[in-house]
Structures are given as C-alpha cells and as structure tokens.
C-alpha cells in the first residue's frame, strides 16, 4: 500500500514516521521545507489543561510520545516536563478551573490546585495577585524548530521519501488511487493523507468537503534574557480572552510569550503571517500580571505563523466522507503542537489497520454537513 502525506509540518512528518515504523514506505510532499509552517512558529506549549475533554485520550497518547521522543527520534527535541501552571485572579475563573479539574479526572488528567502561599513558595515572581492556580506536573514544552525536522529525518531513516520544495499543485483520482502533481514531478499512491495545516481546507474542498476554517496568525514574542528562574510553562484561567496570555522562560533566560487574543491576518499563498507590533502593549499588559518582571524588559522579536482555526475549535481528523483512500488531519486551532506526535501515530494506525484505538469521532470532517 503506497501512501502520500501532503504537508511536512508536525502532523505530516509524525504521520510519515509512524507509517514507516509500521512498515509502510510513505512519500511526504512539502511545498517548502519541512517544519516551516505553523509548526516552527509555535510557542511550544505541551499542555493538556483546559482541553476539550473528549480530546484528552489523543492528548494523553501524544504526551506519552513526547516523553519517548528522544528515544524514538534519536535526538533531543527539548521536550521538558517542567509542569504547566495556570494562574487565577478572580472567583469566576477559580470556579471554572475547579469544574474543569473535576470533569477531567475521569478522563485521566489530574490537576493540582495551588493556594497563593504555595504559588509564591514554589514559583517566586509569578502572579503576586493570584488567588489560586492549577498545576499539571507532567506537561511542559518542546522546541518547535526541532520537532518536525527530527520526525522527517527519522522517517527517512526508516525508508520514507521526503520531498521538499514541491507543492501538490493538483491531486487527481486514478483508477486505483491518486496522482499528485508537483512542479518537480508526479507521484502516485493508493492513499493520500491531507496534513496541510491551514492549507488543508483547500485540499479537502477539491474533494467536495468544505470546512469552516479561518486562517489566522497567533502572535508570539520573545524578550531579552532575564536570570533564569521560571521553570514551568505559565498560563492563566480567565473568562476574558484579552487576559489569556501565556509565557515560558527558555534555558538561556529569554521569555517566550503569546496569547491575549492577538491573532493577525495571514496570506496563505505566500505563507506569510505578519506580527503586528501595535498589539504588543496589550499582550504585555496581560502577561505582566503573570510575571511582573516582564514589564521592564525589551522585546527583541515578534512573529506569527499561518494556523487553521475551525469554527468549533476542533481539528479535522479521520477518513474522508466523500473519497475512499483519502484521509485528513488538519486545522488544529492553535493547539496542535501538543497533539502532534499522537496525531501522527493515530493517523498511521487508522491508515494501516482501518481502525484507531483513540476515539477520533468528534473530529470527523462531515460533522458540519450533518449539523446543517
């Protein structure tokens, strides 16, 4: 069985790796270089707190694989289980956190609740005004620059073909499968996996599967280095998205940050997602509540990336509803970095065996058609 994976972001490279591990010889086709789409722009958060509950089995599968990544890929992709803290500043958000924690427990996610004295003793400098926090000790972060190239290299070592700088311009049905035409030549396969991220909507549309997906660019930034003291990834429980910032300190001291509802326009054709410096002050205002030290340091770079946001904030995963042999895994709505290894593994299982131990039903592509 020949498989073509369209798109060399985290989802496509991880799928190629796990397909190859299952003994298949996939061909991955990427229009730029692997990992240069949303994946490289990611904040790098490996977070399960706050997720849609039926997505937790996939998130747990992904988290287990992040823990194995160095062994599986033969290189350190800087996954660090530093813990993930979410600070709370008002009673409404405290109630939301407690409700989520209770509902998530049967789904296998245990969150600790921290009182202000515990926050200040364990994480000095964080959230002086916080009234509580949730803490997920086994979550953390990974390096968005390393992960997709690492999956691609490991897939290649197992026999996968990785074709870069060759966008799929045309995808045709043949008698038994598909013919994918690129500027560098044509490739044939029985199966196509659409892992084209924000661009996945265009590919699905070619097969009569419209998806309400909007492409936007969440804005990130990084500061000059500060003395290293913030270990966990830091977020917030807030009903107001304008206060919904997040940050982490990398080992050399810089603070990487994002959130506060800042999402910019993107241009999918060139693949550009411009950051808007004018929106930085609002982000810093939200983030300084989490880490006041941030108010006094210089921001040295801002950036963004093209991400696909589906109307219901859930990804598209599973078999096509119109075309046998076509599969989709795209539109990860700003939280695909954590899921990536699990998505690749689950899609490889589904393609290779026809079934998947992890429930994917809620992510099926025809969910919008059936709602109409």
Tell which positions 7-36 bind ligand FAD, by CB under 6 A.
7-12, 29-32, 36
- Interface stretch with ligand FAD, choices 99-107, 192-200, 224-232, 359-367 (CB under 6 A): 192-200
Enclosing H/E stretch for 140: strand 140-141
- Site track for ligand FAD across 235-264, x = CB under 6 A: -----------------------x------
User: Counting contacts by CB under 6 A, is residue 38 touching ligand FAD?
Assistant: yes
User: Which of 245, 336, 341, 342 contacts ligand FAD by CB under 6 A?
Assistant: 336
State yes or no: residue 37 binds ligand FAD (CB under 6 A).
Answer: yes
Question: What is the Cα 189 distance to its own chain's centre?
Answer: 27
- Longest CA–CA separation in the chain, Å: 67
Quick check: 199 and 268 in contact, CB under 8 A? Answer: yes
Output the six-digit token pair for 17: 């790796």
- Taking the C-alpha atoms of residue 242 and residue 230, their distance in angstroms, rounded to an integer, is 23
The piece of 86-94, 235-243, 275-283, 332-340 that touches ligand FAD (CB under 6 A) is 332-340
Of the candidates 182, 153, 184, 154, which has an alpha carbon nearest to the alpha carbon of residue 167? Answer: 182
Residue 130 near residue 325, CB atoms below 8 Å? no
Binder among 3, 126, 220, 351 for ligand FAD (CB under 6 A): 220
Q: Are 70 and 341 in contact (CB under 8 A)?
A: no
- The residue among 132 and 304 lying less far from ligand FAD, judged by its C-beta, is 304
How far CA 244 is from CA of 49, 59, 179, 235, in Å, comes to 14, 21, 44, 7
Contacting range for ligand FAD; rule: CB under 6 A; set: 40-48, 94-102, 234-242, 291-299: 40-48
- Please identify the residue of the shown chain whose CB is closest to the bound ligand FAD: 9
How many angstroms separate the CA atoms of 131 and 152, rounded?
44
Output the smallest distance, CB 306 to ligand FAD, in A.
6
The contact set with ligand FAD (CB under 6 A) reads: 6-12, 29-32, 36-39, 41-45, 167-168, 195-199, 218, 220, 258, 304-305, 307, 330, 332, 334-338
């Amino acid at each position: 069985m020949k498989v073509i994976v369209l798109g060399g972001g985290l989802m496509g490279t991880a799928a190629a790796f796990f397909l190859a591990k299952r003994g298949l010889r996939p061909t991955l086709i990427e229009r730029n270089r692997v990992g240069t789409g949303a994946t490289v722009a990611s904040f790098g958060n490996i977070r399960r707190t706050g997720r849609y509950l039926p997505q937790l089995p996939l998130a747990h599968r992904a988290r287990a694989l992040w823990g194995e990544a160095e062994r599986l890929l033969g290189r350190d992709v800087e996954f660090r289980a530093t813990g993930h803290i979410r600070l709370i500043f008002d009673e409404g958000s405290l109630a939301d956190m407690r409700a989520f924690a209770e509902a998530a427990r049967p789904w296998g996610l245990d969150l600790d609740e921290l009182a202000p004295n515990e926050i200040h003793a364990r994480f000095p400098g964080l959230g002086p005004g916080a009234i509580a926090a949730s803490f997920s000790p086994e979550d953390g972060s990974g390096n968005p620059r390393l992960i997709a190239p690492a999956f691609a290299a490991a897939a290649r070592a197992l026999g996968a073909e990785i074709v870069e700088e060759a966008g799929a311009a045309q995808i045709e049905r043949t008698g038994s499968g598909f013919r994918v035409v690129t500027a560098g030549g044509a490739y044939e396969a029985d199966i196509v996996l659409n892992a084209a991220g924000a661009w996945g909507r265009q590919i699905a549309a070619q097969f009569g599967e419209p998806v309400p997906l909007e492409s936007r660019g969440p804005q990130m930034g990084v500061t000059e280095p500060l003395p290293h003291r913030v270990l966990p990834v830091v977020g917030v429980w807030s009903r107001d998205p304008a206060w919904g910032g997040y940050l982490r300190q990398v080992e050399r001291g810089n603070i990487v940050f994002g959130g506060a509802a800042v999402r910019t326009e993107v241009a999918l054709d060139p693949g550009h997602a411009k950051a808007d410096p004018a929106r930085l002050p609002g982000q810093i205002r939200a983030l300084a509540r989490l880490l006041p030290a941030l108010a006094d340091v210089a921001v040295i770079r801002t950036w963004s990336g093209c991400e696909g946001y589906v109307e219901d904030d859930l990804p598209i995963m599973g078999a096509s509803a119109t075309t046998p042999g076509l599969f989709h895994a795209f539109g990860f709505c700003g939280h695909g970095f954590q899921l990536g290894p699990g998505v690749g593994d689950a899609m490889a299982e589904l393609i290779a065996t026809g079934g998947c131990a992890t429930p994917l039903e809620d992510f099926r592509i025809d969910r919008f058609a059936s709602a109409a």
